[in-house]
Structure 1
């Protein structure tokens, strides 16, 4: 994410003097918008944060337009207006997101000059992964094994998931623009081919659910949910484009699975999801969540202090989802999970400074909006089940997005109300204010002063 270098401030130059250059500030704000977009943040929040930072530096005439792949910042009005535009192609790891969050906190308080901020953005964009490639691959294998224990609870599924996760983790190490575009469909085809070949000989349970685990990081669950949130926030262009991209991603993954099934020669019943049955103890789900959180921590190079908070959010999301499934059924179970985990994630961000994306994304994959969509598309096409299953999957995504919206709104309402109460203050009259002088003496003095003012007023 290279940003145009800026000249260093002159000796003795204060930050406030540096900010007088609108081009410098515009470049800094544009870099922040690009970084937040690469961090998978929603467009409405990016705009609000960038405008808030501009005001912290004393600039009111700033406007921001953000799309999923484009960021634009305007400074000034009328003849003095200038616009900077940048295409966004980068995708940040969790360690880069953490560093960007630290820079954002400094910028909100205007504690860093725009020139230094631009240099820091360049450093963040060029950061090497904080984990060795082997640890990142091992993390992807653990992530897959943990998710397999949650989706298709069996030790066989966990072992197969671990192997497939390691295979996909190695493939993701290759840096190639072309491979990045075709990797989802190649990964889904390869995983489906292996699972369908093993299914007759290994008790995997539901082959489709076993397939979801190694493909978890390709599933557009967060993309679809963020798109629905942006539509609800009035960001129609961004929301529609994210939904379209998410549906195309699901179609590509489903095409890879169907192609593998055609080659192996599986029947239509193999594309229909089965009820998850298991004889494993209930506490195995806890092992799955711990492995999943540890794998996420290693694979995405998350900071060390984030592991416990990610695990807490996963436990809360999974527990709330299971409770929702027990009370109202699986189709709206994600609503309860999102409703509970959304305020928790925002609270963690405010309390500990852990960026919300680092906690939200793993929770989204546990709530499985993308997995439901992939199963719906695969079953609708492969099993000739029609549009009903895909519609049910879309309802699942909508319910999760609604839960996120309501949970976030409730948290912000409670927080704003608490801030207003903490700022509530009434000045006491002077005669009742704390003082070493007796109250009666102060009342007499105040009465004498008012009488003197009346007499002077009559003389005037």
Structure 2
């Protein structure tokens, strides 16, 4: 038995070798021969000159930019994107950071979904990429990020130390408990309802729908499928509840409940940042953001359409109900500030500063509406919000500009007018579709233009030139938190 095995295995081995293509056999033989020759050459040379001279590799050439600094720049870029900055501002901050660390050979290409870093020297160039998560940082994380930027501008710590602190900010636990987030979204929804439709009969509806939407958001964080379909699901659920119980929740006017309930899902920041980027020449980033925002807006409207189709025929809204007094919108702004600070985990001792920016923005928006209509109000609100947030951060214990600006930016709700128009287009066959689209675009452009002009008052690209507001006002008594450092600071 022991002698038959080898006799049968040899023909099988020959057949197996014959089945291999000739080209592969030749290539394999050449590689084996080359390896044998190389081994022989190594032994031959080593015997004459010493093995250590051959086996010791040459010292590696130093890269123009250290790997630690590249890791810092990539991580900083994606965190700035997640904090709500436009791609142009992210690139300016990255350029400034690279120059402060003595790296002038680095170029950046920033998109809403990632950061490209290009390093070039006499030996050639290399490109690296870091993708950005499709999530927005909490207000406490944004505050910590800009405070770290301020520290980098003053002290210039080692890149590894900064990268470690950035990772700690990303991994930090949410300081707000779940129950307070639920209460925060309820308060936020009621506040926005008092601004848009201040009727006492709708207050219960605002509270119930605000709780339901926040529960859906928390569930979407745990279930990927729900996260992908969150705009459609939220729009459908809100519509089913509002129109299914029109008198219990909306006082006979269920359509007035839709916008405040889904306000937290409106793509106002995405659409406005996209319009700003298109205006400043960032066509790729601006187009991507605009299409993404419009897509989310249409998904919300599609969810509303599904809810209406499930319910079937429905009676029209009741006659208009008397609104609350002039104080209702003012109280609404207060509730928006409190609710947003709880829902988005605002840093401690920042609520009063957030409310200050909110009320100034609200006053400018109402003034514009009284003078020239909603579009002028949107423009003035965006124009005032950015400089006000910048002036706030000059005070001691005030939050950075981006933290103070985001709640006011969200209160303008540029997508709100768009969703109202698209909802009317879905529910009312007599609405002019072209006019709806024009109203959406004009409302977004009005706020974007206001934010762009307001940002010009606090930003500068000219070497040795301070922002306009800094030239008009005395310097603060303490060192302010840095919001938008300029790449020219290191040259002045």
TM-score range, shorter chain: 0.7 to 0.9
Q: Please tell me whether the aligned partners of residues 37 and 46 of structure 1 are also in contact (alpha carbons under 8 angstroms).
A: yes
**One of 66, 69, 73 as aligned partner of 1:22:** 66
Q: Displacement, 1:128? A: 0.8
Aligned to 1:346: 390
Aligned to 2:261: 214
1:296-337 Cα offsets, whole Å, 9 max, x none, are 111111102221121111111211111111111123321111
Mapped to 1, the partners of 2:307 and 2:472 lie a distance apart of 60
Pairs within 5 Å for 1:381-460? 381-384=426-429, 385=431, 386-412=433-459, 416-417=467-468
Q: Please tell me whether the aligned partners of residues 56 and 110 of structure 1 are also in contact (alpha carbons under 8 angstroms).
A: no
Aligned to 2:295: 248
Mapped to 2, the partners of 1:199 and 1:229 lie a distance apart of 39
Q: Does 1:156 align with 2:207?
A: no
Q: Please tell me whether the aligned partners of residues 64 and 120 of structure 2 are also in contact (alpha carbons under 8 angstroms).
A: no
Aligned to 1:447: none
Mapped to 2, the partners of 1:375 and 1:297 lie a distance apart of 26
Aligned to 1:328: 372
1:149-169 Cα offsets, whole Å, 9 max, x none, are 111101222221111111222
1:167-225 Cα offsets, whole Å, 9 max, x none, are 22222223233222111211111011111122245554753332111211110011100
- Give the unaligned 5+ runs of structure 2: 1-61, 475-492
Alignment RMSD (CA, Å): 2.6
Q: Displacement, 1:75? A: 3.0
Q: Please tell me whether the aligned partners of residues 64 and 119 of structure 2 are also in contact (alpha carbons under 8 angstroms).
A: no
Mapped to 1, the partners of 2:313 and 2:440 lie a distance apart of 23
Change (3 A) 1:277 1:403: farther
Q: Secondary structure, in 3 states, of the residue corresponding to 1:124? A: helix
**One of 132, 142, 148 as aligned partner of 2:177:** 132
Q: Secondary structure, in 3 states, of the residue corresponding to 2:457? A: helix
Q: Displacement, 1:418? A: 6.4
Aligned to 1:183: 230
Change (3 A) 1:422 1:278: closer
1:23-55 Cα offsets, whole Å, 9 max, x none, are 110111111001111112110000000110111
Q: Secondary structure, in 3 states, of the residue corresponding to 1:359? A: helix
Mapped to 2, the partners of 1:328 and 1:422 lie a distance apart of 30
Q: Please tell me whether the aligned partners of residues 96 and 124 of structure 1 are also in contact (alpha carbons under 8 angstroms).
A: yes
Q: Displacement, 1:420? A: 6.3
Larger radius of gyration: 2
Change (3 A) 1:302 1:205: farther
Q: Displacement, 1:358? A: 2.5
Change (3 A) 1:45 1:277: farther
Q: Please tell me whether the aligned partners of residues 101 and 156 of structure 2 are also in contact (alpha carbons under 8 angstroms).
A: no
Change (3 A) 1:369 1:421: closer
Aligned to 2:310: 263
Change (3 A) 1:337 1:278: farther
Aligned to 1:433: none
Mapped to 2, the partners of 1:213 and 1:276 lie a distance apart of 18
Mapped to 1, the partners of 2:157 and 2:320 lie a distance apart of 53
Q: Does 1:51 align with 2:95?
A: yes
Mapped to 2, the partners of 1:207 and 1:33 lie a distance apart of 43
Mapped to 2, the partners of 1:422 and 1:395 lie a distance apart of 34
Q: Displacement, 1:81? A: 3.1
Deviates more, 1:306-315 or 1:169-178: 169-178
Q: Please tell me whether the aligned partners of residues 200 and 323 of structure 2 are also in contact (alpha carbons under 8 angstroms).
A: no
Q: Does 1:141 align with 2:208?
A: no
Deviates more, 1:351-360 or 1:300-309: 351-360
- TM-score with structure 2 setting the length: 0.76
Q: In the comparison of the two structures, how many residue pairs are matched?
A: 403
**One of 147, 163, 175 as aligned partner of 1:102:** 147
Mapped to 2, the partners of 1:152 and 1:266 lie a distance apart of 25
Mapped to 2, the partners of 1:53 and 1:19 lie a distance apart of 18
Aligned to 2:338: 294
Q: Displacement, 1:69? A: 0.7
**One of 156, 160, 170 as aligned partner of 1:111:** 156
Aligned to 2:120: 76
Q: Does 1:365 align with 2:410?
A: yes
Q: Please tell me whether the aligned partners of residues 51 and 63 of structure 1 are also in contact (alpha carbons under 8 angstroms).
A: yes
Mapped to 2, the partners of 1:124 and 1:343 lie a distance apart of 27
Q: Displacement, 1:21? A: 5.6
Deviates more, 1:409-418 or 1:319-328: 409-418
Deviates more, 1:222-231 or 1:371-380: 371-380
Q: Secondary structure, in 3 states, of the residue corresponding to 1:305? A: coil
- TM-score with structure 1 setting the length: 0.81
Q: Please tell me whether the aligned partners of residues 358 and 407 of structure 2 are also in contact (alpha carbons under 8 angstroms).
A: yes
Aligned to 1:317: 361
Aligned to 1:304: 348
Aligned to 1:441: none
Q: Secondary structure, in 3 states, of the residue corresponding to 1:81? A: strand
- Give the unaligned 5+ runs of structure 1: 1-17, 424-460
